[in-house]
Chains A and B, each alone.
Chain A
């Protein structure tokens, strides 16, 4: 999923749960900033592909796969909040609805999956989800203004 859709999902979660302070930072960190691993892969992309736009490159890393729960769960316990787990799960669930290849348990398993809802076009899923999240954000924000 694109970063804009992740931003809308995270913002909706933050508004709905009324998060503030450290919890809000954690929500955006685990809901959006885990995408920072794409930057780690950037030198590899430039080396393998160059400055061309070539779709389908494997940009993912274990930082945003379910295997990351192995370190996110202890970290959440240490911080005394469930927020990282919730927002990371939302991020992963959204990514797994797009049909590019993913390795959920690497490096412990080489299992490869394309996720769920693979029969529906990625563009359709992204547009529908983006619209739904945008509308929900506006509704929640309006309700918050009235309160």
Chain B
């Protein structure tokens, strides 16, 4: 979630700047290399957890997450930011969650059902979080609390928090769309189709300009 807070980004970039410069300038590593290295550590974490070495898995996951935080920093430091890089980061973040969560199911620590549900909730969140700009940030990170809390409870919380975050994101996007509709004004009975046409980049058609839908009939006022 800290990606959304510019001050935290600047602090974390400044902290790891020497490492970023070493990796990029001396070892010629690119942000994509760091993203992939982070994923390799996540796979190793998943394997460690699946074979019953949960603490080792958490340490490997920690290294993976540190690297995951550094790829963006490197891209910003050397002006290498790209849409493709952001997409790769998103895809490998989700893939990391899949392998680590499956590790917990394979080890018999939690059921496959709750792992599947948690992954579905996270995937749903991912589909809207860039538009809504809200993410509860409770994914892999929550697994560290397994030192104090039972893992089935943690997976329940991951599922419910991300599902609730998804619903909230949908409402945020709806409210953004409502502002577009309100700005459009005109006939309220056709305002949704007119705003949708504008979002699609199409000019409003005759049937959606607030005129009567068919000759001789007036738009009927609707009630919720």
Q: Chain A: residues with CB nearer than 8 A to chain B? A: 2, 35, 37-38, 40-41, 44, 47-48, 54-63, 67-68, 70-71, 74-75, 77-78, 98-103, 106-108, 110-112, 122
Q: Quote the shortest CB–CB distance from B111 to chain A (angstroms).
A: 11
A63 near B163: Cβ-Cβ < 8 Å: no
Chain A residues within 8 Å of B143, by CB: none
Chain B residues within 8 Å of A35, by CB: 224
A62 vs B169: C-alpha distance in the bound complex, in angstroms? 10
A2 vs B222: C-alpha distance in the bound complex, in angstroms? 11
A75 near B193: Cβ-Cβ < 8 Å: no
Chain B residues within 8 Å of A102, by CB: 192
A59 near B224: Cβ-Cβ < 8 Å: yes
Question: Would you call B12 an interface residue if the criterion is a C-beta within 8 Å of the partner chain's C-beta atoms?
Answer: no
Among B201-224, those with CB < 8 Å from A are 219-224
Chain A residues within 8 Å of B114, by CB: 78
For the complex of A and B, 3 pairs with smallest distance between CB atoms: A100-B222, A56-B188, A55-B221
Among B97-130, those with CB < 8 Å from A are 113-114, 117, 120-121, 124, 127-128
Most chain B C-beta atoms within 10 Å of own C-beta, residue among A48, A74, A106 = A74
Q: In the complex where A56-B188, A101-B193 touch, is A106 in contact with B174 (Cβ < 8 A)?
A: yes
Among B164-217, those with CB < 8 Å from A are 166-167, 170-171, 173-175, 177-179, 181-182, 187-193, 196-197, 199-200
Chain A residues within 8 Å of B222, by CB: 55-56, 98-101, 122
Chain A residues within 8 Å of B55, by CB: none
Partner of A100, one of B167, B177, B224: B224
Partner of A101, one of B177, B182, B192: B192
Chain A residues within 8 Å of B175, by CB: 40-41, 44
CB nearest to A101 among chain B residues: B192
B192 near A103: Cβ-Cβ < 8 Å: yes
Q: A55-B222, A63-B171 are in contact. List 17 more A-B contacts (CB 8 A).
A: A2-B223, A35-B224, A41-B175, A55-B223, A56-B188, A56-B219, A57-B224, A61-B171, A62-B174, A67-B170, A71-B124, A71-B166, A75-B163, A98-B222, A101-B191, A101-B192, A112-B193
Q: In the complex where A100-B224, A122-B222, A122-B223 touch, is A40 in contact with B190 (Cβ < 8 A)?
A: no
Chain B residues within 8 Å of A110, by CB: 196-197, 199-200
A62 vs B192: C-alpha distance in the bound complex, in angstroms? 13
Partner of B181, one of A58, A62, A78: A58
B159 near A78: Cβ-Cβ < 8 Å: yes
A46 vs B40: C-alpha distance in the bound complex, in angstroms? 53
CB nearest to B190 among chain A residues: A101
A74 near B196: Cβ-Cβ < 8 Å: no
Question: Would you call B10 an interface residue if the criterion is a C-beta within 8 Å of the partner chain's C-beta atoms?
Answer: no
Q: Quote the shortest CB–CB distance from A33 to chain B (angstroms).
A: 13
A75 vs B197: C-alpha distance in the bound complex, in angstroms? 33
Question: Would you call B131 an interface residue if the criterion is a C-beta within 8 Å of the partner chain's C-beta atoms?
Answer: yes
Chain B residues within 8 Å of A48, by CB: 182
